[in-house]
């Protein structure tokens, strides 16, 4: 389809939308008396207003291009004797190739802090930021948060244009919004739509979900771009599309600006994302459970376990409690309850209303700080098959997320360096239970066991992968 056809369709949609809105809003007697000239002037004024908003927003939306190095395992065909006979040894070791991708970002502060999605820059070797006036800068990562798919990078510049922040808690379904980004690499693509839904969660994109749903077109390259309201205020960060075909199908998702602001401020001021922690495992209420617990409705969540010495345990919460209110706010489902706890500042004293044995009780809880996953520690000192394999403890939160039994203890692989002989044999997310038949219950024991492996020694690992236990052998020379 030509650009002219696309423009015509967009103009037709826009004019039709305005006319429909006018037909719904204006009284019938007024609608009948609106002459063609006034209707044309109304469309012109509205079009000018939307163009003005787009002009205000575009300077603060940037293009982000990244370069990544992809490493693929050596093809086993190269080890086939027949192949070697006719074609020689072939390339040695894993193969490397460079890939490039495009995304969008939003200038958050005049001194060069830029908001974008975590998936736009995660794993990037180089980050290039291009402003609306075509100036280019090398971007530096300030902080990443995969749990919300947000990231903050910085460029070395001052007096940059920014976008005023709105209040996503005041949004209403049906509001007109504008999405600005770099769709398919086309600089500053503007699309318009409405808010189709709020508080979308349980989609499985991130750990903390509270998405704004919009029908404003969000396509590849729009990730990290701005979603603004009719006042030109930032209300969300475009992050994904919900699609069965991989293309745009009328459902776009954006991270609400209030959540974005909390994450951004925490990264800039503290260098990490600080979240509240209660220390409970929960499940949603079903109609059957509502009957079993003799509840009036399904608003709330059930506590199925509490972490030892956690704020929840210290505050008196127990298995079987139904949490119906947190810090003065009603609980609707587990996803929003999780977001509410995470948004609470550690140290705050919170009232939690629960139903226990059909009685309404109030527990007083001092919120703690959610333990942060340990930073990746490069095990470069290992001169064996586990070189470059880094792990972390298996926490209760990880057990809940991976749906593994509480009694399972081990070390979760969180990174495998490119130079590691184990790359392609074990994977991130595997849980190491034994190293050469020596039990491993945490990260410290893993590093001790890995350090004891001699150079040139084969390694036998007992692991859990996707819930399945199995033995894995890492040859002394790697793949």
Q: Which residues are tagged catalytic?
A: 119, 149, 223
Question: Residue 187: which of 135, 152, 261 has the closest Cα?
Answer: 135
In angstroms, the CA 234 to CA 470 distance is 49
Question: Residue 397: which of 309, 316, 260, 277 has the closest Cα?
Answer: 277
Are the C-beta atoms of residues 435 and 459 closer than 8 Å to each other? yes
Q: Which residues contact 303 (CB under 8 A, 6 or more apart)?
A: 280, 281, 282, 312, 317, 318, 319, 320, 321, 322, 323, 354
DSSP state of 227: E
- Give me the helices (H) in 286-426, please: 287-292, 311-314, 334-342, 396-402
Residue 18 exposed, middle or buried by CB count within 10 Å (0-12, 13-18, 19+): middle
Task: Look at the alpha carbons of 434, 436, 439, 441 in this order and tell me if their dihedral is positive or negative.
Answer: negative
Q: Which residues contact 315 (CB under 8 A, 6 or more apart)?
A: 352, 363, 364, 365, 366
Are the C-beta atoms of residues 216 and 178 closer than 8 Å to each other? yes
Residue 327 exposed, middle or buried by CB count within 10 Å (0-12, 13-18, 19+): middle
In angstroms, the CA 337 to CA 220 distance is 31
State the chain's maximal CA–CA distance in angstroms: 90
Task: Look at the alpha carbons of 279, 285, 291, 292 in this order and tell me if their dihedral is positive or negative.
Answer: negative
Q: Which structure tokens are listed for 434?
A: 């034994």
Q: Which residues contact 190 (CB under 8 A, 6 or more apart)?
A: 54, 58, 178, 179, 180
Q: Can you give the C-alpha Rg of the chain in angstroms?
A: 27
């Amino acid at each position: 389809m030509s650009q002219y056809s696309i423009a015509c369709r967009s103009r037709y949609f826009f004019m039709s939308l305005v006319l429909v809105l006018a037909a719904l809003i204006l009284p019938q007697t007024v609608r009948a008396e609106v002459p063609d000239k006034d209707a044309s002037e109304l469309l012109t004024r509205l079009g000018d207003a939307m163009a003005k908003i787009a002009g205000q927003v575009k300077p603060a939306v940037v293009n982000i291009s990244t370069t990544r190095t992809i490493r693929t395992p050596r093809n086993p065909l190269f080890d086939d004797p027949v192949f070697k006979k006719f074609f020689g040894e072939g390339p040695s070791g894993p193969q490397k190739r460079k890939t490039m991708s495009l995304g969008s970002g939003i200038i958050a502060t005049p001194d060069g802090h830029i908001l974008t999605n975590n998936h736009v820059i995660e794993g990037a070797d180089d980050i290039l930021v291009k402003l609306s006036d075509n100036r280019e800068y090398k971007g530096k990562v300030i902080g990443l948060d995969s749990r919300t798919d947000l990231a903050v990078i910085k460029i070395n510049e001052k007096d940059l244009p920014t976008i005023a922040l709105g209040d996503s808690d005041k949004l209403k379904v049906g509001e007109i919004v504008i999405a600005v980004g770099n769709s398919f690499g086309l600089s500053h693509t503007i699309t318009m739509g409405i808010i189709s839904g709020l508080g979308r969660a349980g989609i499985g994109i991130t750990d903390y979900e509270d998405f704004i749903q919009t029908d404003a077109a969000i396509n590849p390259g729009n990730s990290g771009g701005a979603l603004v309201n009719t006042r030109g205020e930032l209300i969300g960060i475009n992050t994904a599309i919900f699609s069965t075909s991989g293309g745009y199908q009328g459902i776009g998702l954006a991270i609400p600006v209030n959540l974005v602001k909390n994450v951004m401020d925490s990264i800039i001021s503290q260098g990490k994302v600080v979240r509240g922690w209660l220390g409970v495992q929960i499940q949603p209420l079903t109609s059957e459970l509502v009957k079993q617990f003799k509840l009036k409705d399904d608003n709330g969540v059930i506590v199925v376990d509490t972490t030892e010495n956690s704020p929840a345990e210290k505050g008196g919460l127990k298995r079987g409690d139904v949490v119906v209110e947190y810090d003065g706010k009603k609980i609707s489902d587990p996803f929003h309850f999780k977001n509410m706890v995470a948004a609470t500042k550690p140290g705050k004293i919170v009232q939690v209303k629960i139903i226990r044995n059909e009685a309404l009780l109030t527990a007083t809880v001092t919120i703690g700080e959610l333990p942060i996953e340990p930073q990746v520690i490069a095990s470069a000192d290992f001169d064996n098959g586990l070189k470059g394999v880094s792990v972390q403890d298996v926490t209760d939160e990880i057990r809940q997320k991976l749906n593994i039994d509480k009694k399972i203890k081990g070390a979760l692989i969180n990174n495998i360096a490119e130079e590691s002989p184990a790359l392609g044999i074990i994977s991130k997310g595997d849980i190491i239970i034994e190293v050469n038949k020596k039990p491993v219950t945490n990260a410290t024991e893993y590093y001790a066991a890995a350090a004891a492996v001699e150079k040139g020694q084969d390694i036998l690992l007992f692991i859990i992968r996707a819930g399945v236990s199995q033995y894995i052998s890492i040859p002394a020379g790697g793949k």
